[in-house]
Protein backbone atom coordinates (compact mmCIF):
# COMPACT_ATOMS: atom_id res chain seq x y z
CA UNK A 1 0.00 0.00 0.00
CA UNK A 2 2.84 2.38 0.82
CA UNK A 3 5.42 1.02 -1.63
CA UNK A 4 5.30 4.17 -3.75
CA UNK A 5 6.15 6.41 -0.77
CA UNK A 6 9.06 4.18 0.18
CA UNK A 7 10.33 4.10 -3.42
CA UNK A 8 10.10 7.89 -3.74
CA UNK A 9 12.26 8.26 -0.63
CA UNK A 10 14.77 5.50 -1.32
CA UNK A 11 17.69 7.94 -1.19
CA UNK A 12 16.90 8.68 2.45
CA UNK A 13 17.90 6.38 5.29
CA UNK A 14 15.20 3.81 6.02
CA UNK A 15 14.88 1.87 9.27
CA UNK A 16 12.52 -0.99 10.03
CA UNK A 17 11.18 -2.77 13.07
CA UNK A 18 8.68 -5.56 13.48
CA UNK A 19 6.59 -7.34 16.07
CA UNK A 20 4.62 -10.56 16.11
CA UNK A 21 1.11 -10.92 17.54
CA UNK A 22 -0.06 -12.98 20.50
CA UNK A 23 -3.16 -15.13 20.37
CA UNK A 24 -4.80 -13.81 23.48
CA UNK A 25 -3.38 -15.42 26.59
CA UNK A 26 -2.59 -18.93 27.76
CA UNK A 27 -3.53 -17.65 31.20
CA UNK A 28 -4.81 -14.32 32.41
CA UNK A 29 -5.80 -13.41 35.92
CA UNK A 30 -4.71 -11.79 39.15
CA UNK A 31 -2.00 -12.72 41.63
CA UNK A 32 -2.34 -13.14 45.40
CA UNK A 33 -0.99 -9.59 45.81
CA UNK A 34 -3.57 -8.18 43.36
CA UNK A 35 -1.34 -7.74 40.30
CA UNK A 36 -3.07 -8.43 36.99
CA UNK A 37 -0.97 -10.71 34.79
CA UNK A 38 -1.09 -12.62 31.52
CA UNK A 39 0.92 -15.24 29.66
CA UNK A 40 1.56 -14.68 25.96
CA UNK A 41 1.39 -17.11 23.03
CA UNK A 42 3.20 -15.68 19.97
CA UNK A 43 1.64 -16.35 16.57
CA UNK A 44 2.73 -15.78 12.99
CA UNK A 45 1.05 -12.44 12.37
CA UNK A 46 3.19 -9.31 12.22
CA UNK A 47 3.29 -5.54 12.25
CA UNK A 48 6.12 -3.71 10.48
CA UNK A 49 7.14 -0.12 11.14
CA UNK A 50 9.15 1.64 8.42
CA UNK A 51 10.87 4.88 9.44
CA UNK A 52 11.98 7.05 6.53
CA UNK A 53 14.29 9.52 8.24
CA UNK A 54 14.34 12.99 6.69
CA UNK A 55 16.86 15.20 8.51
CA UNK A 56 15.58 18.24 6.58
CA UNK A 57 12.09 17.87 8.02
CA UNK A 58 10.94 19.31 11.32
CA UNK A 59 7.98 16.96 11.62
CA UNK A 60 7.03 13.29 11.60
CA UNK A 61 4.19 12.05 9.40
CA UNK A 62 2.58 8.83 10.64
CA UNK A 63 0.70 6.59 8.21
CA UNK A 64 -2.02 5.59 8.56
CA UNK A 65 -3.02 8.81 10.31
CA UNK A 66 -5.36 7.20 12.86
CA UNK A 67 -2.46 5.54 14.74
CA UNK A 68 -2.77 7.96 17.66
CA UNK A 69 -1.18 5.56 20.17
CA UNK A 70 1.94 5.38 18.00
CA UNK A 71 2.05 9.19 17.91
CA UNK A 72 1.78 9.39 21.69
CA UNK A 73 4.48 6.74 22.14
CA UNK A 74 6.90 8.62 19.88
CA UNK A 75 6.21 11.92 21.64
CA UNK A 76 6.87 10.35 25.04
CA UNK A 77 9.99 8.48 23.89
CA UNK A 78 11.40 11.56 22.16
CA UNK A 79 11.02 13.57 25.37
CA UNK A 80 12.37 10.85 27.65
CA UNK A 81 15.48 10.11 25.58
CA UNK A 82 15.96 13.43 23.76
CA UNK A 83 15.69 11.85 20.31
CA UNK A 84 14.50 13.88 17.30
CA UNK A 85 12.47 11.65 14.98
CA UNK A 86 11.53 13.31 11.69
CA UNK A 87 10.35 12.15 8.30
CA UNK A 88 7.68 9.51 7.74
CA UNK A 89 6.72 6.47 9.79
CA UNK A 90 4.62 3.81 8.05
CA UNK A 91 2.76 1.12 10.01
CA UNK A 92 1.72 -1.99 8.08
CA UNK A 93 0.10 -5.01 9.68
CA UNK A 94 -1.82 -8.21 9.02
CA UNK A 95 -3.00 -8.40 12.64
CA UNK A 96 -6.79 -7.87 12.90
CA UNK A 97 -7.68 -5.00 15.23
CA UNK A 98 -10.04 -5.23 18.18
CA UNK A 99 -9.87 -9.04 18.36
CA UNK A 100 -7.50 -9.53 21.28
CA UNK A 101 -4.47 -10.42 19.14
CA UNK A 102 -2.27 -7.62 20.53
CA UNK A 103 -2.49 -5.38 17.47
CA UNK A 104 -2.00 -2.14 19.46
CA UNK A 105 0.99 -3.47 21.38
CA UNK A 106 2.49 -4.78 18.13
CA UNK A 107 2.23 -1.27 16.63
CA UNK A 108 4.17 0.16 19.56
CA UNK A 109 6.80 -2.59 19.67
CA UNK A 110 7.44 -2.42 15.91
CA UNK A 111 7.71 1.37 16.15
CA UNK A 112 10.12 1.11 19.07
CA UNK A 113 12.34 -1.33 17.17
CA UNK A 114 12.45 0.92 14.10
CA UNK A 115 13.44 3.87 16.32
CA UNK A 116 15.99 1.73 18.13
CA UNK A 117 17.59 0.85 14.78
CA UNK A 118 17.60 4.53 13.76
CA UNK A 119 18.91 5.96 17.03
CA UNK A 120 21.57 3.32 17.81
CA UNK A 121 20.62 3.77 21.47
CA UNK A 122 20.55 0.73 23.76
CA UNK A 123 17.22 1.40 25.43
CA UNK A 124 16.33 0.11 28.88
CA UNK A 125 13.29 -2.08 28.20
CA UNK A 126 11.79 -1.32 31.59
CA UNK A 127 11.77 2.37 30.67
CA UNK A 128 10.05 1.48 27.40
CA UNK A 129 7.51 -0.52 29.37
CA UNK A 130 6.80 2.50 31.53
CA UNK A 131 6.17 4.59 28.43
CA UNK A 132 3.74 1.90 27.26
CA UNK A 133 2.01 2.14 30.64
CA UNK A 134 1.24 5.82 30.03
CA UNK A 135 -0.62 4.84 26.84
CA UNK A 136 -2.51 1.61 27.59
CA UNK A 137 -2.17 -1.86 29.11
CA UNK A 138 0.41 -3.80 27.11
CA UNK A 139 0.86 -7.44 26.14
CA UNK A 140 4.51 -8.34 26.67
CA UNK A 141 5.50 -8.48 23.00
CA UNK A 142 8.84 -6.84 23.73
CA UNK A 143 9.99 -10.29 24.83
CA UNK A 144 10.41 -13.46 22.77
CA UNK A 145 8.53 -16.65 23.52
CA UNK A 146 5.79 -17.12 26.07
CA UNK A 147 6.27 -14.79 29.02
CA UNK A 148 4.53 -13.83 32.24
CA UNK A 149 3.77 -10.13 32.05
CA UNK A 150 1.88 -7.66 34.26
CA UNK A 151 -0.15 -6.01 31.54
CA UNK A 152 -1.60 -3.12 33.57
CA UNK A 153 1.71 -2.20 35.17
CA UNK A 154 3.54 -3.02 31.90
CA UNK A 155 6.17 -5.02 33.74
CA UNK A 156 8.05 -8.14 32.65
CA UNK A 157 8.02 -11.03 35.13
CA UNK A 158 9.52 -14.16 33.59
CA UNK A 159 10.15 -16.00 30.33
CA UNK A 160 8.54 -19.44 30.35
CA UNK A 161 9.83 -20.80 27.04
CA UNK A 162 8.67 -21.53 23.52
CA UNK A 163 5.47 -23.28 22.58
CA UNK A 164 5.94 -25.81 19.75
CA UNK A 165 4.98 -24.83 16.21
CA UNK A 166 1.37 -25.84 15.79
CA UNK A 167 -1.92 -24.62 14.36
CA UNK A 168 -4.66 -22.68 16.10
CA UNK A 169 -8.13 -22.74 14.58
CA UNK A 170 -9.65 -19.41 15.60
CA UNK A 171 -13.38 -18.88 15.90
CA UNK A 172 -14.00 -15.13 15.80
CA UNK A 173 -17.41 -14.39 17.26
CA UNK A 174 -17.52 -10.96 15.67
CA UNK A 175 -17.39 -7.34 16.69
CA UNK A 176 -14.47 -5.55 18.28
CA UNK A 177 -13.41 -4.96 21.87
CA UNK A 178 -11.50 -1.89 23.01
CA UNK A 179 -8.64 -2.96 25.30
CA UNK A 180 -8.47 0.31 27.24
CA UNK A 181 -12.20 0.33 28.02
CA UNK A 182 -12.20 -3.37 28.89
CA UNK A 183 -9.33 -3.05 31.34
CA UNK A 184 -11.01 -0.13 33.12
CA UNK A 185 -13.88 -2.39 34.16
CA UNK A 186 -13.28 -3.69 37.67
CA UNK A 187 -13.38 -7.49 37.83
CA UNK A 188 -14.88 -9.13 40.88
CA UNK A 189 -11.95 -11.43 41.70
CA UNK A 190 -12.32 -13.07 45.10
CA UNK A 191 -9.73 -14.78 47.32
CA UNK A 192 -10.57 -18.20 45.87
CA UNK A 193 -9.90 -16.83 42.37
CA UNK A 194 -6.48 -15.57 43.43
CA UNK A 195 -5.52 -18.93 44.91
CA UNK A 196 -6.72 -20.73 41.78
CA UNK A 197 -4.74 -18.41 39.49
CA UNK A 198 -1.63 -18.92 41.61
CA UNK A 199 -2.01 -22.70 41.30
CA UNK A 200 -2.60 -22.48 37.55
CA UNK A 201 0.41 -20.22 37.05
CA UNK A 202 2.66 -22.50 39.08
CA UNK A 203 1.38 -25.47 37.08
CA UNK A 204 1.99 -23.59 33.84
CA UNK A 205 5.60 -22.83 34.79
CA UNK A 206 6.23 -26.50 35.57
CA UNK A 207 4.55 -27.57 32.34
CA UNK A 208 6.78 -25.33 30.24
CA UNK A 209 9.84 -26.61 32.13
CA UNK A 210 8.90 -30.23 31.34
CA UNK A 211 7.54 -29.56 27.82
CA UNK A 212 4.13 -30.88 28.90
CA UNK A 213 2.16 -29.11 26.20
CA UNK A 214 -0.99 -31.13 26.76
CA UNK A 215 -1.03 -29.80 30.31
CA UNK A 216 -0.51 -26.27 29.01
CA UNK A 217 -3.55 -26.77 26.78
CA UNK A 218 -5.57 -27.89 29.81
CA UNK A 219 -4.49 -24.84 31.83
CA UNK A 220 -5.37 -22.50 28.95
CA UNK A 221 -8.82 -24.11 28.80
CA UNK A 222 -9.34 -23.52 32.53
CA UNK A 223 -8.38 -19.87 32.11
CA UNK A 224 -10.86 -19.53 29.27
CA UNK A 225 -13.64 -20.98 31.43
CA UNK A 226 -12.92 -18.67 34.36
CA UNK A 227 -12.92 -15.66 32.03
CA UNK A 228 -16.51 -16.37 30.97
CA UNK A 229 -17.56 -14.20 33.95
CA UNK A 230 -15.82 -11.21 32.41
CA UNK A 231 -16.06 -11.73 28.65
CA UNK A 232 -18.48 -14.47 27.70
CA UNK A 233 -17.80 -16.49 24.54
CA UNK A 234 -21.00 -18.07 23.28
CA UNK A 235 -19.22 -20.94 21.53
CA UNK A 236 -16.77 -21.85 24.29
CA UNK A 237 -18.53 -24.89 25.75
CA UNK A 238 -19.25 -26.30 22.31
CA UNK A 239 -15.60 -25.81 21.36
CA UNK A 240 -14.37 -27.62 24.47
CA UNK A 241 -16.75 -30.48 23.74
CA UNK A 242 -15.11 -31.32 20.42
CA UNK A 243 -11.48 -31.25 21.57
CA UNK A 244 -11.02 -35.00 21.95
CA UNK A 245 -12.46 -35.87 18.56
CA UNK A 246 -10.14 -33.52 16.67
CA UNK A 247 -6.88 -34.28 18.54
CA UNK A 248 -6.52 -30.83 20.12
CA UNK A 249 -4.45 -29.78 23.13
CA UNK A 250 -7.00 -27.34 24.47
CA UNK A 251 -8.69 -23.98 24.12
CA UNK A 252 -7.09 -20.56 24.26
CA UNK A 253 -9.18 -17.39 24.18
CA UNK A 254 -8.48 -13.75 23.65
CA UNK A 255 -9.56 -12.84 27.18
CA UNK A 256 -10.10 -9.20 26.22
CA UNK A 257 -11.12 -9.95 22.64
CA UNK A 258 -13.58 -11.82 20.45
CA UNK A 259 -11.81 -15.08 19.58
CA UNK A 260 -11.74 -18.69 20.71
CA UNK A 261 -8.71 -20.70 19.60
CA UNK A 262 -8.53 -24.48 19.29
CA UNK A 263 -4.89 -25.48 19.78
CA UNK A 264 -4.18 -28.51 17.63
CA UNK A 265 -1.65 -31.19 18.54
CA UNK A 266 1.71 -30.31 16.89
CA UNK A 267 1.77 -33.84 15.43
CA UNK A 268 -1.60 -33.38 13.74
CA UNK A 269 -1.55 -34.69 10.16
CA UNK A 270 -5.00 -33.65 8.98
CA UNK A 271 -5.13 -29.93 9.70
CA UNK A 272 -6.98 -28.82 6.57
CA UNK A 273 -9.80 -31.32 6.98
CA UNK A 274 -10.21 -30.40 10.65
CA UNK A 275 -10.20 -26.72 9.71
CA UNK A 276 -12.97 -27.34 7.16
CA UNK A 277 -14.92 -29.32 9.74
CA UNK A 278 -14.74 -26.48 12.25
CA UNK A 279 -15.86 -23.99 9.60
CA UNK A 280 -18.92 -26.16 8.95
CA UNK A 281 -19.64 -26.39 12.69
CA UNK A 282 -19.59 -22.60 13.14
CA UNK A 283 -21.14 -21.23 9.93
CA UNK A 284 -22.11 -17.90 11.52
CA UNK A 285 -18.60 -17.07 12.72
CA UNK A 286 -15.34 -16.19 10.99
CA UNK A 287 -13.05 -19.22 11.27
CA UNK A 288 -9.35 -18.56 10.60
CA UNK A 289 -6.21 -20.71 10.76
CA UNK A 290 -3.19 -19.29 12.61
CA UNK A 291 0.25 -20.70 13.33
CA UNK A 292 2.28 -20.41 16.52
CA UNK A 293 5.85 -19.15 16.29
For the segment 80-100, what is each residue's pLDDT rounded down to a tens digit?
Answer: 999 999 999 999 999 999 999
Q: How far apart are CA 232 and CA 129, in angstroms?
A: 30
Count of residues making up the chain: 293
Residue 192: partners with Cβ closer than 8 Å, 6 or more residues away? none
**Whether 148 and 9 share a structural domain:** yes
**Whether 122 and 219 share a structural domain:** no
**Whether 82 and 179 share a structural domain:** no
Closest CA to 62 of 80, 49, 47, 79: 49
Q: What is the pTM of this model?
A: 0.96
**Whether 33 and 10 share a structural domain:** yes
What percent of the chain has pLDDT above 90?
95
**Whether 48 and 13 share a structural domain:** yes
**Whether 150 and 13 share a structural domain:** yes
- Predicted pLDDT at 44: 98
**Whether 9 and 140 share a structural domain:** yes
Q: In the listed set 156, 174, 207, which residue is the last one of a domain according to the structure?
A: 156
Q: In the listed set 156, 177, 192, which residue is the last one of a domain according to the structure?
A: 156
**Whether 13 and 129 share a structural domain:** yes
CATH at 90: 3.30.230.10
DSSP, res 52? E
pLDDT of 185 higher than 80: no
Q: In the listed set 156, 191, 223, which residue is the last one of a domain according to the structure?
A: 156
What's the whole-number mean pLDDT along residues 22-38? 96
CA 154 to chain centre: 13
- Looking at the 3D structure of the chain, how many domains does it have? 2
**Whether 142 and 165 share a structural domain:** no
**pLDDT greater at residue 179 or residue 132:** 132
128-167 pLDDT, tens digit each: 999 999 999 999 999 999 999 999 999 999 999 999 999 9
**Whether 40 and 54 share a structural domain:** yes
Q: How far apart are CA 54 and CA 72, in angstroms?
A: 20
- Predicted pLDDT at 105: 98
**Whether 168 and 138 share a structural domain:** no
CATH at 185: 3.30.70.890
Structural domain including 64 reads 3-156
Amino acid sequence: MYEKIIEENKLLNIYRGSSNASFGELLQGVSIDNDDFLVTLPIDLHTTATLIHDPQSANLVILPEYKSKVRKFIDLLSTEFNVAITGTLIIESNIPEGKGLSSSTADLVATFRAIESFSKIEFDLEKINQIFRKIEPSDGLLYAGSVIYKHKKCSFVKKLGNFPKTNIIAIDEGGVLDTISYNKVKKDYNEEDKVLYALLLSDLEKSFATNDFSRIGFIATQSALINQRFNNKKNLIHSIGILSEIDALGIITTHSGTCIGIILNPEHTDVQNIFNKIKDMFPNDNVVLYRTL
